């Protein structure tokens, strides 16, 4: 009952779902229980409090919805906007693309600012549009913090700066699926109105929980928003929050216990240390890519993602072959190139419960695969470059020193 056995541990380097810590697997290893028992609210309350910490918000209201990132997107949009509302969205890769598709399907009037894949959101155009929109017809700016398809991280602080510059009241809705809990993310400081992530990303849980945080302004907007919504309606949750029973319908009990364990580990490591670790993993990966003579799909350093690196292969190579071979020979799972970059990039996810030696094993594997398919890589070169950096930068493990 496993998807095709191979000896040893699978090296899971897709950009989600990611490796689950043993502590979290353990916490979810349990029978069901009565979530209406007098004891259960304590667990829920502790989670709602602690989620705010990983979003870096004190004023936000979190929701833990039994759904995926796609459902969390829908929740962000339908709770804050009305049919036909104008929104600005950035198309920079497959996941921003899918969100835009959803925005259209939910009948919003989407003004798309497109960039070449490999570039970040074009914020100059945003500035122009906001400047022109003195009537404030733009109701929301939707942006993916980290585009998982191209390994591009957008600069949210700048987005906020622009909004402020033009004193524009548009809501700022942020997809933090492959960023929150791995990249530097500051909901309050950056004035994010809705931020969201999925359990199977940097939180290192199984799929099944969409985690959303709404600013007071977003909550206010939800009172007027006319979009039809039922399952994803925040109002339902707020009603049950108020009643102290918390759940309008049955929650994913197992994921809640898993989240408790996951947050405990994150706080034990320290959120800033978690973010620094992801930066190390990102840097190391990029140094390896450079040593191999390959290019990062993200075109400029300012956009480099610390959670996923999309590696551009030479034109005569099909990146799908890299991924296929990784799985068939090395028990290594890499991410495919999607849509416009299909066949052109393969992706190394380096997020979640992961350390440097695991990454070096992956990089050693990628080198062998590149050689397998005829790319003239010098075996060991990427690992050497990454190791040189890591050996100077890995901190001692505090609890062991």
- Tell me how far, at minimum, the Cβ of 57 lies from its own copies, in Å: 24
- Compare residues 216 and 395 and give the one whose CB is closer to its own copies: 395
Residue 172 to residue 193: CA distance in whole angstroms:
5
Dihedral sign for Cα 102, 79, 215, 137, please: positive
Binding-site size for its own copies (CB under 8 A) equals 122
- β-partners of residue 345 are 312
Restricted to residues 318-347, the positions that interact with its own copies (CB under 8 A) are 324, 327-333, 336
Element (H, E) at 194: strand 194-198
Going by the DSSP 8-state scheme, the letter that residue 179 receives in this structure is T
- Compare residues 120 and 258 and give the one whose CB is closer to its own copies: 258
Restricted to residues 121-180, the positions that interact with its own copies (CB under 8 A) are none
CA distances from 224 to 73, 81, 87, 218, 221 (A): 19, 8, 16, 10, 5
CA distances from 341 to 151, 178, 215, 281, 369 (A): 12, 19, 35, 23, 19
User: Across the chain, how many H-helices and E-strands are there?
Assistant: 13, 14
- Tell me how far, at minimum, the Cβ of 307 lies from its own copies, in Å: 14
- Compare residues 166 and 327 and give the one whose CB is closer to its own copies: 327
Restricted to residues 359-378, the positions that interact with its own copies (CB under 8 A) are 359-362, 364-365, 367-368, 371-372, 378
Restricted to residues 194-253, the positions that interact with its own copies (CB under 8 A) are 198, 200, 206-208, 227-233, 248-253
| Contact residues for 301 (Cβ-Cβ < 8 A; gap 6+) | none
- Compare residues 218 and 354 and give the one whose CB is closer to its own copies: 354
Structure token pair of residue 190: 């950056």
- Compare residues 53 and 378 and give the one whose CB is closer to its own copies: 378
- Tell me how far, at minimum, the Cβ of 94 lies from its own copies, in Å: 12
Q: Is 9 annotated as a binding residue?
A: no
Taking residues 245 to 284 in sequence order and writing x for each that binds its own copies by CB under 8 A, - otherwise, the string is: ---xxxxxxxx-x--xx---x--xx----x--x-------
| Contact residues for 267 (Cβ-Cβ < 8 A; gap 6+) | 50, 53
User: Considering only 52-60, 69-77, 111-119, 141-149, which stretch makes contact with its own copies by CB under 8 A?
Assistant: 69-77
Q: Which residues are annotated as a binding site?
A: 347
Q: Which residues are annotated as a binding site for substrate?
A: 347
């Amino acid at each position: 009952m496993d998807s095709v056995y191979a000896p040893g541990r699978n090296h899971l380097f897709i950009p989600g779902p990611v490796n689950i810590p043993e502590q979290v697997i353990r916490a979810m290893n349990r029978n069901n229980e009565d979530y209406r028992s007098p004891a259960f609210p304590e667990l829920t309350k502790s989670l709602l409090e602690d989620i705010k910490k990983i979003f870096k918000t004190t004023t936000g209201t979190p929701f833990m919805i039994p759904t995926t990132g796609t459902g969390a997107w829908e929740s962000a949009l339908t709770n804050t906007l009305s049919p036909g509302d104008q929104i600005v969205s950035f198309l920079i890769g497959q996941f921003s693309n899918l969100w835009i598709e959803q925005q259209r399907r939910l009948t919003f009037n989407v003004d798309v600012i497109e960039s070449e894949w490999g570039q970040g959101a074009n914020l100059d155009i945003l500035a122009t549009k906001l400047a022109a929109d003195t009537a404030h017809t733009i109701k929301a700016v939707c942006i993916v913090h980290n585009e998982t398809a191209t390994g591009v991280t957008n600069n949210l602080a700048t987005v906020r700066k622009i909004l402020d510059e033009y004193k524009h009241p548009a809501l700022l809705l942020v997809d933090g699926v492959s960023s929150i809990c791995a990249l530097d993310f500051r909901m309050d400081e950056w004035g994010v109105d809705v931020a969201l992530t999925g359990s199977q990303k940097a939180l290192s849980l199984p799929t099944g929980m969409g985690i959303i945080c709404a600013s007071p302004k977003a909550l206010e907007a939800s009172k007027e928003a006319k979009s039809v919504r039922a399952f994803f309606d925040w109002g339902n949750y707020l009603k049950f929050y108020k009643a102290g029973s918390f759940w309008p319908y049955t929650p994913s009990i197992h994921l809640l216990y898993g989240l408790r364990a996951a947050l405990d580990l994150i706080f034990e490591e320290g959120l800033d240390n978690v973010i620094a670790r992801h930066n190390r993993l990102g840097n190391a990966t990029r140094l390896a890519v450079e040593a191999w003579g390959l290019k990062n799909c993200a075109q400029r350093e300012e956009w480099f993602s610390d959670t996923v690196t999309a590696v551009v292969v030479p034109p005569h190579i099909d990146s799908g072959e890299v991924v296929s071979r990784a799985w068939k020979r090395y028990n290594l799972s890499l991410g495919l190139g999607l849509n416009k970059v299909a066949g052109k990039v393969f992706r190394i996810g380096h997020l979640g419960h992961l350390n440097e030696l695991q990454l070096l094993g992956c990089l050693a594997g990628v080198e062998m695969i590149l050689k397998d398919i005829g790319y003239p890589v010098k075996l060991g070169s990427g690992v050497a470059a990454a190791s040189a950096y890591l050996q100077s930068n890995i901190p001692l493990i505090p609890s062991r020193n």
